[in-house]
Structure 1
């Protein structure tokens, strides 16, 4: 049986950084690299292809750092569904 690939849909995925990163918030994964038990994603800013960096793909699971897809500031600041606001 083949070993299950970690982060199988990583390549081509789009992400929004909760804080500006290298001056931008919207990024796309253009490359992936497996190094031992770690998976790294090469990110490119959607508005400036010269802004590139590698990130441990595990960080995408932390919703305080990254949101899936490209989102507006308004969408990012909306309370999550299922949470009661007092």
Structure 2
């Protein structure tokens, strides 16, 4: 059972990141970025059976998403 929840939250964060990279608007990117943040918060739950490895994977996805989101914001400001 613990393995299932770990797969679900890691895959959910990865799917949200993939959708974020394809998003065409700031609001869409922000939505998926927030979704990844929720997965990160859930991974901090001690009683939920989330492993440290899963938390580390989601933390890395969150860091990548942060970098991507900031880069896209800078890029869109240069274009406008």
TM-score by length of 2: 0.24
Rg larger in 1 or in 2?
1
The structure with the largest helix share of the pair is 2
Of structures 1 and 2, the one scoring higher in RCO (CA 8 A, sep 6+) is 2
Structure with a larger share of its residues in strand? 1
